[in-house]
Each structure stands twice: as structure tokens, then as C-alpha cells.
Structure 1
Amino acid sequence: MKSSSLKNENQLLLQATIDPEAFAKIYDYYFTRVYNYVRSRVNRSSMADDLTSQIFERVLFKLDKFHPERGSFRTWLFTIAHNIITDYLRNQEKQHIVSLDMVRELACARNGPEEVYILQESQQDLQAALELLNNRERNLIGLKFWAGLNNRQIAQMTGLSESNVGVILYRSIRRLQLALKKEEACENE
């Protein structure tokens, strides 16, 4: 796993306000983690692409508003990501659209029909288990496991204490494990 911050990050951030090359290094370093976090919260890959683009666009536009003395760049970046995803999800609650992306992804899968079905079933089980969690719990799991943030960074971003983040994550993971075991037991009957 990558180190917690980019080498010479603060210098690059200062330079990025005037030099696109410096921002490109920041973008390259953080892209995968941001995309994974977005993808963990959004089912459609095309929408994850769009939201990730919006996140980096907003970061670039507001880069002069970042102050390292207030917290790490990573925390600031994922706060922006969290806000954009939250806005998107709020809007989606108002609309119920059938995604053709999911159909296209299944049709283009390189695996055979049986593997696709098993993978899809596993993903549906995980998604169903995640739906048992509240929004805050799902968000913390996304930040921890898909974005790769540590508990301290999540605490800074969410306003929770570091120990509270740890407790919520532990309980959420435990609930997921129990839900998945219960689902597996029901399938085996």
C-alpha cells in the first residue's frame, strides 16, 4: 500500500496553483483511492467516473482554499469527495432510474455465465448486507477500505473521535459478517 502522503506534497500543492504538471502528480497519486471510494458508494462505473472527475475538478478549483495547518490534504480531498457523493446520492433518492450500465457490464464480462452469476450473487449479497447499515456506517466503511484512510483521518473528516470511528467500524463489520453468514445459511437450506 502507498505511504500516507505524497512525497513533497505541500510543495506540490503550492506549485499546483500555478503549474498543471504539479497537479497532475497529485491527481496520479490520489486517483485510485478516490475512484475506489466513489465506486464503493455508487453502483454504476460510468457515474463513478463522472463523480471522480467532479471531485478533482472541484479540488483544482478550490486548491487555493486548502490550508495545511488545518489538516492533511488527504482529509480535505476526501471531505470534498464525501460531499459530492452525498449530493449525488440525495438526488438519486428522488429519482429511480434503471441503469443500462449494469447490463452492459454484465454483457461485456470476460468470465463465463456461471462465474458472472456467482460474482453478481456475491456482490448482491454484500450490497444487501451494506444496506442493513446506516449511511454513516456505509460511508465510514467506504473511507476505510476503499479510500484507504486511517481512523485518525476519518475522524478529522467526519468530526467523530478516533476511538468512535474505530468502534463504529468494528460494529459495522461485525454486522456485515453476521448478515453475510445468515444469507449463506439461508442459501444452504
Structure 2
Amino acid sequence: MAGQRKLVMQEVVIEGQKFFGELEEHTPPVVEKKTEDAKGGRFASSKIIIGVTVGNATIKLKGATVDALQVYGAEEGERVQMDVKSSYQDEDGNKFAEHCSYTGDIIKIDDGSRSTQSVPETTIELAPRIYKHTEAGKTRYNINLDTQVIDLGQGDIMAEHRSNLGRA
């Protein structure tokens, strides 16, 4: 059994440009199942899943210049492709990779406050249209809102439904 894990190294790639020493923080989106009560003539109701919502992802960069970000498409309202790659190690010495890949729209860029003798920070918030998250080579999420591929780590739950409509 693996022990507690720690983040050892990470980088972000925005539109092919690597930001290795600048990535300070990464928050993947929260994926939630939406439910609704279903009573249907019963005394006690049950919950049924009626959909999935994908929250926003954020990254925090230290020292990235506005020119570098704009050259690589990181502007509010722009659709970008972004990959966050991380390397972890647990208490038992096991090492593994985590990879979060996004295609989505930048909804907010916050340059934060500026003070003397500090490195400026830029926070980018992204609304993913496509989100793939793997840990140690295993799929945790593979969600494509455009094609309705919805894999929450146990296979595509929409494959048969797309097939019923004649979609791949």
C-alpha cells in the first residue's frame, strides 16, 4: 500500500510553450455528478444521476510576462490547449506521473497584487471543453463536452447512448 505522496516537480505547457520554472500552483476542475430525486410512486425517493458538471481549472504562474502569455494564446476569451504534467513520490519511494490535459476557454486572467521584492503572480482560470486526467497511466477522467465522451475512470458511460443516435 502506498503512503502519503508529495509533489516533486511540475510544468505547464500552453499552446506548445513550456513554463517549467514559473508554475507555482495547479488546481484541476471539480467533476460532479448531478442528481435528482426520483420517487415514482414510492414512499421513499432515490437519487438518479442526470448529468455531470465540470468546474474550472486554475494555474498560478510566477514571473511569466504578459508578452510570453499573449504570444502563446493566453488571453481572456481565447481557446487554448494546456497540459499540466506532474511527478510525485510517495512515502515508500514509489514515483508516478500525473497528467492533466485541457482544451478550453480562458475566462479570467488575474495578475494579482504587486509589491517590491516579490515575484509577480498571474492566475489563469480556464473553463475546459475537453479534460483528460491520468494518474500513473490510468484514466481518472476523460471528458469531452463537444462529443459527449464521458469517462469517469471506469469507461465511457455515454458510448451506447451516442451509438443509439448514430454517433461514434
TM-score, normalised by the number of residues in structure 2: 0.29
Greater RCO, 1 or 2 (C-alpha within 8 Å, sep 6+): 1
Task: Look at both structures and tell me which one has the larger radius of gyration over its CA atoms.
Answer: 2
Q: Which has the higher strand share?
A: 2
TM-score, normalised by the number of residues in structure 1: 0.26
